[in-house]
Amino acid sequence: MDRRQMETAIAGIVRLLGASLKNRGLYPPSHPLVNIPIEKCISELAPLFADRTELVLTVVDETLVLEGVPIFHLTSSLELFLARLGSIGVPALIFERGLTADDLERFMFFLHETKEQGLETEAIKERLSAVGVKHILVTENEEQNDFATARKIYDNAINVVVQALSDVRNGQIPDGASCESAVREINGMLLRNRDAMLALTLIKNFDEYTYNHSVNVSVLSLAVTENLGLPEQNRINVGVAGLLHDIGKTQLALDLIRKPGTLTVNEYEEIKKHPEEGYAILEKMTNIQPETRELVREHHMRFDRAGYPTPDPDVQMHPYSQVIAVADCYDALTTTRTYQKARSPQNAIEIMRKLSGKSLDPDLVTLLERSLGIYPIGTLLRLNTMEVGIVTKAPEGVKGNLEVAILYDQAGNPLPKPEAVDLSELDPATGRPRRTTLGTVNPMLLPPITFENVMENASG
């Protein structure tokens, strides 16, 4: 079954569910107009269950989405079905292989008879179990839930960095175990939903730059190590190094770190001490691997060995220290500072390509680019429809589905709410993609965009 056939089948299945629910309000439960749609639905679902164990139906901003296929053309019966799900408070459903007509009949009974509104997920689960539904599960909306989970993990990592830097400034030794735990959570989330985690690196807080930057470098470093195929513990070691790569700056005067203008020669010499200072701090911490300490010490040595501290001629740098350097560079370029405007993700990559072979390892720049995709998350695009949107989901490398939140319509008017679209969606009339990319848009030509608001409010 190709995608177009699948979309047609899915639309038919959801409409059958809607028809059964509508007819239940008009006829007795045993009436053929109530039961026949259910029997047809079971028959239509069989091919979809041939290669999967479950099907997910979600309600995303008043749109039904089954297995990622949105149902836009609503009949009166579908509107009723959608309204009942929304009224009761059902965020998402999982139809399991083994689903029977009896399950669907009992589920329709639940939808028809439940009068309460806005039930908690646990209460809905209890009701479904009570009426005997066995192969229909209620769950949270996975995409929205993943972003919320990623945000909690990110915020926890911020708190860990804040505590670590505060401990050092107060003469205490930071907890290395909490740093490793935070990085393991980030790594797990990257494996589960890479885009949800990477998206958070585009949410910048000028007042908390040091903390955000530390977490972002950790996230980006872990994304690169995944493409390197490193064992898990090595990935964690790199991630912890990213999280603590600037901990040595706690030994410098705050005025020097925050200075907006050009540094004097003496000031720059002071700044250059922070990798060695960081190494010394990490030596005192427990649960910090020797590899992590080396990466922190070497992250400014540069690929051409012209950085600091100056490496001895006969010493070979650690092969992963440049991972931190590449992540550090990308996040710095895409962040607004007092002395620079933030570059777009694509522009940052272009600058890093020019630095390849000099300050940056060319192979790792390529791996970062592959990790972020051809159009990294946060890239502004103009589409063939003349709409302007921002990338919210980017496949690794070249292949895969690109997801965009439309911000401006064809006439250039801002939308009241970002509209989420999948660029792989086909136009049924032509069989070709509804939208394609024409190119990138300079973010400086548009009003400032709050990426967090886009991620939280995009509808689709």
Is the predicted pLDDT of residue 65 greater than 70, yes or no? yes
Confidence band for 73, pLDDT divided at 50, 70 and 90 = low
pLDDT tens digits, one per residue of 309-319: 999 888 899 99
Q: pLDDT value at position 302?
A: 96
Q: How far apart are CA 22 and CA 81, in angstroms?
A: 8
Q: Where are the beta strands (DSSP E) in 346-410?
A: 380-383, 388-393, 403-408
In a shared domain, residues 41 and 101: yes
Is the predicted pLDDT of residue 59 greater than 80, yes or no? no
Structure-model confidence comparison of residues 329 and 76, the more confident one: 329
Given the structure tokens 């990935």, which residue do they identify? 235
360: left (phi over 0), alpha (psi -120 to 50) or beta: beta
Is the predicted pLDDT of residue 460 greater than 70, yes or no? no
Give Cβ neighbours of residue 426 (< 8 Å, ≥ 6 apart). Answer: 3, 4, 7, 432, 433, 434
Q: pLDDT value at position 308?
A: 96
Q: What is the mean predicted confidence (pLDDT) over 152-167?
A: 94
Q: For the packed helices 232-243 and 290-298, what is the interaxial angle rounded to 10 degrees?
A: 50
In a shared domain, residues 306 and 183: yes
In a shared domain, residues 110 and 258: no
Q: How far apart are CA 210 and CA 212, in angstroms?
A: 6
Is the predicted pLDDT of residue 7 greater than 70, yes or no? no
Confidence band for 97, pLDDT divided at 50, 70 and 90 = confident
Q: Can you give the residue range of the structural domain that contains 346?
A: 144-372
Is the predicted pLDDT of residue 172 greater than 90, yes or no? yes
Nearest to 108 by CA among 21, 171, 174, 179: 21
Q: pLDDT value at position 2?
A: 54
Nearest to 330 by CA among 338, 318, 322: 322
Q: What is the mean predicted confidence (pLDDT) over 86-104?
A: 89
Of 340, 372, 404, the domain-final residue: 372
The percentage of the chain sitting over the pLDDT mark of 70, rounded to a whole number, equals: 90
Q: For the packed helices 3-24 and 101-113, what is the interaxial angle rounded to 10 degrees?
A: 50
DSSP, collapsed to helix, strand or coil, labels residue 115 as coil
Confidence band for 142, pLDDT divided at 50, 70 and 90 = low
Confidence band for 61, pLDDT divided at 50, 70 and 90 = low
DSSP string, 58-89: EE-SS-EEETTEEE-S--HHHHHHHHHHHHHT
Q: pLDDT value at position 273?
A: 96
pLDDT, the chain, mean: 87
Q: How far apart are CA 148 and CA 320, in angstroms?
A: 31
Contact in structure between 138 and 92 (CB atoms under 8 Å) = yes
Structure-model confidence comparison of residues 9 and 304, the more confident one: 304
In a shared domain, residues 71 and 55: yes
Q: pLDDT value at position 74?
A: 66
Q: pLDDT value at position 245?
A: 97
State phi, psi for 132 to the nearest 5 degrees: 90, 20
The percentage of the chain sitting over the pLDDT mark of 90, rounded to a whole number, equals: 45
Q: pLDDT value at position 101?
A: 93
In a shared domain, residues 356 and 397: no
Confidence band for 141, pLDDT divided at 50, 70 and 90 = low
Q: pLDDT value at position 4?
A: 55
In a shared domain, residues 199 and 330: yes
Contact in structure between 392 and 458 (CB atoms under 8 Å) = yes
Is the predicted pLDDT of residue 272 greater than 80, yes or no? yes
The residue count for the chain: 460
Confidence band for 241, pLDDT divided at 50, 70 and 90 = very high
Is the predicted pLDDT of residue 411 greater than 90, yes or no? no
In a shared domain, residues 349 and 200: yes
Is the predicted pLDDT of residue 379 greater than 90, yes or no? no
In a shared domain, residues 112 and 237: no
Lowest mean pLDDT among 93-107, 163-177, 386-400: 386-400
In a shared domain, residues 119 and 150: no
Sign of CA dihedral 32, 11, 409, 389: positive
Tokens of residue 181, six digits: 């735990």
| One-letter identity of residue 57 | L
Q: Where are the beta strands (DSSP E) in 34-189?
A: 54-59, 64-66, 69-71, 92-96, 136-139
Which letter does DSSP use for residue 254 in this model? H
Of 372, 391, 416, the domain-final residue: 372
Q: What is the mean predicted confidence (pLDDT) over 197-219?
A: 84
Give Cβ neighbours of residue 79 (< 8 Å, ≥ 6 apart). Answer: 18
Contact in structure between 48 and 41 (CB atoms under 8 Å) = no
Q: pLDDT value at position 145?
A: 62
Q: Which of 46-50, 199-203, 251-255, 295-299 ranks highest by mean pLDDT?
A: 295-299
Q: Which of 147-151, 249-253, 287-291, 372-376 ranks highest by mean pLDDT?
A: 287-291
Q: pLDDT value at position 397?
A: 60
Q: What is the mean predicted confidence (pLDDT) over 34-55?
A: 87
Q: What is the mean predicted confidence (pLDDT) over 201-212?
A: 77
Q: pLDDT value at position 152?
A: 85
Lowest mean pLDDT among 16-30, 329-343, 435-449: 435-449
Q: What is the mean predicted confidence (pLDDT) over 36-45?
A: 92
In a shared domain, residues 113 and 207: no
In a shared domain, residues 449 and 430: yes
Structure-model confidence comparison of residues 70 and 345, the more confident one: 345
In a shared domain, residues 100 and 227: no
What CATH number did the domain enclosing 170 receive? 1.10.3210.10
Structure-model confidence comparison of residues 101 and 48, the more confident one: 101
Half-sphere exposure of 150 (CA within 13 A, CB side): 26
Of 372, 402, 423, the domain-final residue: 372
Contact in structure between 222 and 186 (CB atoms under 8 Å) = yes
Into how many domains does the chain fold? 3
Structure-model confidence comparison of residues 70 and 161, the more confident one: 161
